[in-house]
Structure 1
Amino acid sequence: MAAETHWQFSIVPGCFLQSEPSTDASTFDYVSSNFGLIPRTYPTDDSLPANATTTTTITNWDRFAHHLRTLNATSDPSVRYKILFLGRHGEGDHNVAERTYGTEKWDSYYSLLPSDPTTNATFHDAHLTSLGKSQARTAHAAWRAQLPHHIPTPESFYVSPLNRCLETASLTFEGLGVEGTQPFRPVIKELLRETIGLHTCDSRSTKTEISAAYPSYIFEPGFVENDERYSATLRESNSARDKRFRDLMQDVFENDPMEVLSLTAHSGAITSLLNVFGHRRFDLETGGVIPVFVRGERVRGGLPVMRVEPWFSL
Structure 2
Amino acid sequence: MPRYRFSYVPDYFVDTVEAAKACPDSKLTTQLNLGLLDKTYNSNDVPGAHLAGEAPWPRFRRQVEWLNRNSPDGVCYKLLFLLRHGLSVHNIIMAKVGREAWNSYWSHLEADGEMTWVDAKLTEDGSSLARHLGNLWVEWDVLGVPLPETLYTSPLARCLETTKLVYEPVMAKHGRSLRPVVKELLRERLTNHTCDKRSSRSWIAKTYPEYVLDRGFEMMDTLWKKDRYETNDEHVARKRRLLEDIFANDKSTFVSLTTHSYAISAVLEVVGAPHFRVSEGAIIPLLVKAEEVSRESKGN
TM band (smaller chain):
over 0.9
Count of residues in correspondence between the two structures: 294
Q: Distance in 2 between matches of 1:235 and 1:289?
A: 27
CA drift at 1:180: 8.0
Residues 256-302 of structure 1 show CA distances to partners (whole Å, capped at 9, x for unaligned) of 11100000000011010011011111211100111000000001344
Which letter does structure 2 place at the counterpart of 1:10? S
Q: In the alignment, which of 120, 126, 136 is matched to residue 130 of structure 2?
A: 136
Q: Distance in 2 between matches of 1:159 and 1:142?
A: 19
Q: Counterpart in 2 of 1:16? A: 13
Q: Counterpart in 1 of 2:30? A: 30
Q: Counterpart in 1 of 2:41? A: 42
Q: Counterpart in 2 of 1:198? A: 192
Q: In the alignment, which of 4, 7, 10 is matched to residue 4 of structure 2?
A: 7
2:83 equivalent to 1:87: yes
CA drift at 1:30: 2.1
Q: In the alignment, which of 177, 180, 188 is matched to residue 186 of structure 1?
A: 180
Aligned ranges 1:289-308 → 2 under 5 Å = 289-300=283-294, 301-302=297-298
Say if 1:217 and 1:129 are closer, same or farther in 2 by CA, change over 3 A: same
Which letter does structure 2 place at the counterpart of 1:196? L
Which letter does structure 2 place at the counterpart of 1:45? N
Which letter does structure 2 place at the counterpart of 1:97? I
CA drift at 1:236: 1.1
Say if 1:209 and 1:180 are closer, same or farther in 2 by CA, change over 3 A: farther
Which letter does structure 1 place at the counterpart of 2:100? E
Which letter does structure 2 place at the counterpart of 1:38? L
Q: Distance in 2 between matches of 1:296 and 1:191?
A: 19
Q: Distance in 2 between matches of 1:129 and 1:211?
A: 22
* 8 Å Cα contact 2:79-2:286 kept in structure 1: yes
SS in 2 for 1:261: strand
Say if 1:254 and 1:177 are closer, same or farther in 2 by CA, change over 3 A: closer
* 8 Å Cα contact 1:5-1:303 kept in structure 2: no
Q: Counterpart in 1 of 2:213? A: 219
Q: Distance in 2 between matches of 1:178 and 1:10?
A: 33
Q: Distance in 1 between matches of 2:156 and 2:242?
A: 17
Residues 176-217 of structure 1 show CA distances to partners (whole Å, capped at 9, x for unaligned) of 146887320100001100111310010000000010100000
Q: Distance in 1 between matches of 2:14 and 2:172?
A: 26
Q: Counterpart in 2 of 1:54? A: 52
Q: Distance in 2 between matches of 1:202 and 1:168?
A: 16
* Structure 2, unaligned runs of 5 or more: none
* 8 Å Cα contact 1:126-1:201 kept in structure 2: yes
Q: Distance in 2 between matches of 1:238 and 1:98?
A: 21
* 8 Å Cα contact 1:271-1:281 kept in structure 2: yes
Residues 91-122 of structure 1 show CA distances to partners (whole Å, capped at 9, x for unaligned) of 000000000000111011100011124x2x11
Residue range with higher mean Cα deviation, 199-208 or 141-150:
141-150
Which letter does structure 1 place at the counterpart of 2:30? Y
* 8 Å Cα contact 2:20-2:29 kept in structure 1: no
Q: Counterpart in 2 of 1:312? A: none
* Structure 1, unaligned runs of 5 or more: 305-314
Q: Counterpart in 1 of 2:151? A: 157
Kindly indicate which of the two structures has a greater share of residues assigned to helix. Answer: 2
Residues 47-81 of structure 1 show CA distances to partners (whole Å, capped at 9, x for unaligned) of 3747x6321xx110011100000110111121010
* 8 Å Cα contact 1:175-1:181 kept in structure 2: no
Percentage identity across aligned positions? 37
RMSD: 2.0
Q: Counterpart in 2 of 1:232? A: 226
Q: Distance in 2 between matches of 1:86 and 1:260?
A: 11
Say if 1:256 and 1:180 are closer, same or farther in 2 by CA, change over 3 A: farther
SS in 2 for 1:81: strand
Which letter does structure 2 place at the counterpart of 1:194? E
Say if 1:143 and 1:115 are closer, same or farther in 2 by CA, change over 3 A: same
* 8 Å Cα contact 2:154-2:160 kept in structure 1: yes
Residues 216-271 of structure 1 show CA distances to partners (whole Å, capped at 9, x for unaligned) of 00011111101010101111122211111011111111111110000000001101
Say if 1:5 and 1:236 are closer, same or farther in 2 by CA, change over 3 A: closer
Q: In the alignment, which of 229, 238, 247 is matched to residue 253 of structure 1?
A: 247
Say if 1:212 and 1:178 are closer, same or farther in 2 by CA, change over 3 A: closer
Q: Distance in 2 between matches of 1:81 and 1:67?
A: 10
**TM-score by structure 1 length?**
0.89
* 8 Å Cα contact 2:4-2:290 kept in structure 1: yes
